[in-house]
A and B are shown apart, each in its own frame.
Chain A
Amino acid sequence: GAGVSQSPSNKVTEKGKDVELRCDPISGHTALYWYRQSLGQGLEFLIYFQGNSAPDKSGLPSDRFSAERTGGSVSTLTIQRTQQEDSAVYLCASSPRGTVYGYTFGSGTRLTVV
């Protein structure tokens, strides 16, 4: 596609429920990143994929968070047993081969846990 696509754009969920957030990177971009932007913490790195592998998961805040990428394309970020502190905007980015050139962000998914 022309840009990085994220869905849904907004998600409201009840505390304790599981949620899945989807990211469609730019076609041909082998690297994919997830970030989280929350009021108290700013914009934080979560996980990095190169192809279907995740060589850097250091930003995942707890074992309730997981992500996968299939076919070197679409990625899903899953949050289990959501908590109110998980409320944030989740941003996805992709880049060609993991370089900073062509690094492109999606518009994000706003997650609200009530």
Chain B
Amino acid sequence: KQEVTQIPAALSVPEGENLVLNCSFTDSAIYNLQWFRQDPGKGLTSLLLIQSSQREQTSGRLNASLDKSSGRSTLYIAASQPGDSATYLCAATTDNFNKFYFGSGTKLNVKP
């Protein structure tokens, strides 16, 4: 069974800082690696999807990388803003059914 771990569990930074969230997974035979954002009382919002054949994806101030050989993914957030405050979840799929195995998340607080 795929195990996904995220560190740190919580992170507090001042506005404007660049930051990195880490995700590791035990089974390198992943199909997809996805980063989600979760706001309190709301569902999950997809941020970036990296297919197994890809190394990274970028969207605006977000960049996600994938290294299957080391079982790691990172989410880089540039010039953080208070609106980035949320819980960030990393998840991997390992078959065509595309069920996600989730990490426990990193709760980010960006202080004005």
A42→B97 contact, CB < 8 A:
no
The contact size tier of chain A is 20 to 34
Number of A-B contacts (CB under 8 A): 52
Contact B98 A45 (CB under 8 A): no
Contacts of A95 in B (CB 8 A): 98
> Among A12-20, A61-69, A102-110, which stretch is in contact with chain B?
A102-110
Q: Given A100-B32, A100-B49, A100-B93, answer yes or no on A107-B43 (Cβ-Cβ < 8 Å).
A: yes
User: B2 CB to closest chain A CB, in angstroms?
Assistant: 10
Interface residue stretch chosen among B15-23, B58-66, B78-86, B99-107: B99-107
Q: Which residues in A have their C-beta under 8 angstroms from that of B91? A: 43
Q: How far is the CB of A7 from chain B (nearest CB, A)?
A: 14
Interface size (B, Cβ < 8 Å)? 23
B44 near A42 (CB under 8 angstroms)?
Answer: no
With A100-B93, A108-B43 given, is the CB distance from A31 to B98 under 8 Å?
A: yes
For the complex, is A79 an interface residue (Cβ under 8 Å from B)? no
User: Given A55-B97, A56-B97, A98-B96, A42 and B43 touching (CB < 8 A)?
Assistant: no
1/0 per position for A44-57, CB-CB distance to B under 8 A?
11001010000110
Q: In the assembled complex, how far is the CB of residue A43 from the closest CB belonging to chain B, in whole angstroms?
A: 4
**Which residue of A91, A98, A100, A106 has the most chain B CB atoms within 10 A of its CB atom?**
A100
Residues of A within 8 A of B (CB): 4, 31, 33, 35, 42-45, 48, 50, 55-56, 59, 91, 93, 95, 98-101, 103-108
Q: Which residues of B contact A (CB under 8 A)?
A: 31-32, 34, 41-46, 49, 89, 91, 93, 96-105
